Structure 1
Amino acid sequence: MDSAADVEVDLLSRAVEALQGLLGSEWDISSQTYGGDSDYGIDAMAQVASADGGVVRLFFQVKQRLTPKEVASILAPRAELVRRVNDSARFMVVAPWISPATQQELRKSDIGYLDLTGNVSLRVSRPAIVVHTQGEQRAPAGYRQPVGKPLLTGLKAARLVRLLADVRPPYRATDLAHHAGLSLAYVSRLLDSLEDQLLVRRDGKIISWVEWERLLRARARQTDLFRTTEPAGMIAPNGVEEVLEKLREYNREGGYDYRREVLVTGSYAARSFARISVGGQLMLYVQQHPLNVDRVANELGLIPVTEGADVLLLRAKDRSVFERPMEISGIGQVGLSQLAMDCLAGPGRMPAEGEAVLKFMSAHEPSWRKHDLSQPDETALF
């Protein structure tokens, strides 16, 4: 088995080779690997020379994995120190893979980066170098989360993410665990992971800030709407508008509570806040049980099909989907945070619709975000 030092040297060698390929033959790169970390935390130095004689030194820091929190608290001060000592040098991180959130924090701190999937960013004013390429935005196979750090996938994570987005801090992990129906141990571990990603901020035991917009994007990146909901394809013989009218009628009659048990999501719901597209499939969340799918299809006059569906019945596998819903024009829709995640995790033009929903949410935050956890879970009217 290769030692950690051998792995580091191999990673540096591959990084320098990749950078040389991006810059081209008119640039010359010579690298020197240090025997260990220097006072500035530098693992290697590369001298990059242009054909006209311009030279810049790149100071490399090798990381097997890196979080946004580590960038902000450790690497940013280190890079600033390098710039002060040597204004002709640039600080650069090399890693097997760098997440989008970490890339953003590195750019914010004016730190270059290169990973082996093709995510590269380097800006040098003299000699002029501007390189920016995009590689894998999701963790590649074999890149594992550290043991004990839960991911944002799964039903429990969805429940906590929605609560964090929908309710303003401050609150404690114990409060979140109680309201979400989750164990305190799980909530604490996930909050640790979110803090590493700078998605939440804590003052002692109090969660004082939530980056809800980035949090919803992060959750969506790790999920796939159709894979998690196993949609049942349907045809509406008399058109989608008749289905919507039936939903209004059931809500007015007050029989089976469609406001809480059958909710619109996807493109049709997104158009209530950002009309950037027309057409598309009507997506309705229903309870997961197969008999419930059949019952709702029958009541709404839908016919099952294997292709060409204009209505999709999505199986809601957790109660959080139905929490904090909305009513618009007499029809129940999922809450805004659920709608944004569904669209961002959907196919085709849905991610663009999700971004439009996020923009609406940012501009109207007081109208949908609860002030504290004690507020009742009522249907919001828009």
Structure 2
Amino acid sequence: MEVTGPRPERHIDIYRRAVASLEACLPLGWSVTSDRARSPEAPKRILVTAPDGDSVSYAVITSRGVLSGDVARISADLTESDRGFVCAHYLSDPVRRQLDQHGISYADATGNLTLVAARPAIWVRNRGADADPWRGPGRPSGVLTGEPSERVVRALADHVGDISVPELIKLSGASTGATYRVVEVLAERELIRRIPRGPVTSVQWEPMLRGWSADRKPCATRSFAAPDGLDAVRAQLAERVDPGYAVTGVGATDYAATDVLEVYADDPDEFAAALGLRPVDRAADVVVAIPWTPVVFDRMERREGLRFVAPAHVYADLLAGPFRNADAADHLRSRMEADESWWRRPLGRGL
């Protein structure tokens, strides 16, 4: 399908292009109607009606950018009996496959389309562009990987308040070009709001952390036994002066007591030797991850003499990777939502 014209940006324009693709592919006698929306927002629902009058309703999810890491969240936001219809300016092949696996219908502005329902029985599919026709050379990939993404995401999650990009560069420690690229990705995925050529005014920290955790590459881990028990390990860690470790995982939350200590350390062998730990293949007392970047040690918390990864990073670790635990992640998210002042710092002017 040849795509012409500018990329649709407003939600209503993205929706109109998607529905136009759908209507062009529906069998004769089928129709699409929707509730009325106030521009520039898109309708909340569409109704697809068969020639005999039987119909099926879909919740409309409109977004400028959807990545594989976003699909699970979209699916979780739908009720068990509801159907979703995702509209975007472009949906990549991996994202389309993820949506198919979750039974979510979709259409993008290039003509990629799938609509499914059991009653009335319908299956409509169309092939559009294989690459984003509006993404020019040098544009960001849309994936939150690498140290700049970690630095920018953590800086935005850990702080609250309007922040300009130059201030964000200083706060995060990422390079100028990389910060602007990450900010563009976050804005395109609607994880932040930014005034054109102005500051970031709003951060959707939970979906941002969820998207980052899904995109980043898991760290390698080493497993160790503690011959003298975890209490002895914790006592030794509390006496350490150097910040060469940070506790994460379930043990960094108040969700439940745990019999495995999960930590980050730059040099697992040196860390283990200092604590008298012994390498094992299974039944570990201590699991040590080698961080990809030093961001894990930014803005650590200290409790009972131990150093803990910042709550935003702990939450991302519980969502995906070697320290994942869905129940603990839900518990921590509830705490973070209930009192953001507990873990998000206000931004001062003298950054």
**TM-score if structure 2 supplies the norm length?**
0.67
Deviations 1:303-347 (A, max 9, x none): 122333221122233221111111222211111011111111235
Q: 1:176 maps to which residue?
A: 168
Query: SS state of the match for residue 306, structure 1?
Result: coil
Distance 2:121 2:304 in 1: 50
Query: 1:148 is matched with which residue: 125, 130, 139?
Result: 139
CA spacing shift, 1:113–1:197, aligned 2, 3 Å: closer
C-alpha distance in 1 between matches for 2:302 and 2:61: 48
Equivalent of 1:297, from 272, 286, 295? Answer: 272
1:113 deviates by 4.2
Q: Does the aligned pair in 1 maintain the 2:221–2:290 contact within 8 Å? A: yes
TM-superposed CA distance for 1:149, in Å, is: 1.4
Provide the C-alpha distance between the structure 2 equivalents of 1:81 and 1:359, rounded to a whole number of angstroms. Answer: 29
Deviations along 1:268-307, one digit per CA (max 9) or x if unpaired, are: 112x2x23xx5453112112xx4xx333212211112233
CA distance in structure 2 between the aligned counterparts of 1:306 and 1:41, rounded to whole angstroms: 54
- Counterparts of residues 41-190 of structure 1 (less than 5 Å): 42-45=20-23, 57-58=31-32, 76-77=41-42, 79=43, 99=68, 101=70, 104=74, 112-113=85-86, 115-117=96-98, 118=100, 119-121=102-104, 146=135, 148-150=139-141, 151-190=143-182
Report if the CA contact (8 A) 2:246-2:263 is conserved.
yes
Task: Measure, in 1, the Cα distance between the counterparts of 2:312 and 2:250.
Answer: 14
Residues 56, 221 of structure 1: alpha-carbon distance in 2 compared, 3 angstrom cutoff: same
Equivalent residue number for residue 379 of structure 1: none
Task: From 247, 264, 267, give the equivalent of 1:285.
Answer: 264
Which whole-Å CA distance do the structure 2 matches of 1:265 and 1:175 have between them?
A: 28
Q: Retained in 2: the 8 A contact 1:343–1:351? A: yes
Are residues 107 and 100 of structure 1, via their aligned partners in 2, closer, same or farther at CA, if it must alter by over 3 Å? farther
Q: Which residue number corresponds to residue 212 of structure 2?
A: 219
CA apart distance, 1:130:
11
Q: 1:375 to 1:263 in 2, by over 3 A?
A: farther
> Which residue number in structure 1 is paired with residue 92 of structure 2?
none
**Could you tell me how far 1:43 is from its partner in structure 2?**
2.3
1:268 matched to 2:215: no
By how many angstroms is 1:112 displaced?
Answer: 2.2
Q: Counterparts of 1:371 and 1:130 in 2: how far apart (Å)?
A: 53
Q: Quick check: which has more Rg, 1 or 2?
A: 1
Residue 177 of structure 1, CA deviation: 0.9
Alpha-carbon distance, 1:373 to partner: 5.0
Give the equivalent residue in structure 2 for 1:246: 236
SS of the aligned residue for 1:264 comes to strand
Equivalents in 2 of 1:143, 1:342: separation in Å? 31
Shift of 1:240: 1.6
- Asked if the contact 2:245/2:264 (under 8 Å) is kept, the reply is yes
Task: Supply the AA of the counterpart residue of 2:20.
Answer: I
Could you tell me how far apart the structure 2 residues matched to 1:282 and 1:341 are? 17
Q: Give the 3-state SS of the residue equivalent to 2:263 in structure 1.
A: strand
- Which of 336, 339, 348 is the aligned partner of 1:364? 339
Q: Distance in 2 between matches of 1:81 and 1:261?
A: 52
Change (3 A) 1:264 1:44: closer
Which of 201, 209, 218 matches 1:208?
201
* Shift, 1:241, TM fit: 2.1
Gaps of 5+ in 1: 6-37, 50-54, 60-71, 132-141, 377-382
* Cα distance between partner residues in 2 of 1:368 and 1:121: 35
Cα separation, 1, equivalents of 2:206 and 2:18 = 34
Is 1:194 aligned to residue 186 of structure 2?
yes
2:165–2:179: 8 Å Cα contact kept in structure 1? yes
Structure 1 residue 242 displacement after superposition = 1.7
The letter for the 2-side match of 1:269 is A
The aligned counterpart of 1:21 is none
Structure 1 residues 206 and 120: alpha-carbon distance in aligned structure 2, compared to 1, 3 A threshold: same
Task: Report the alpha carbon displacement of residue 264 of structure 1 after superposing the two structures with TM.
Answer: 0.8
How many residues matched? 287
Q: 1:155-185 CA distances to partner (integer Å, 9 max, x unpaired)?
A: 2211111100001120111111122222222
Correspondence for 1:236 among 226, 233, 254: 226
Contact 2:225-2:280 at 8 Å conserved across structures: yes
CA distance in 2, matches of 1:216, 1:93: 20
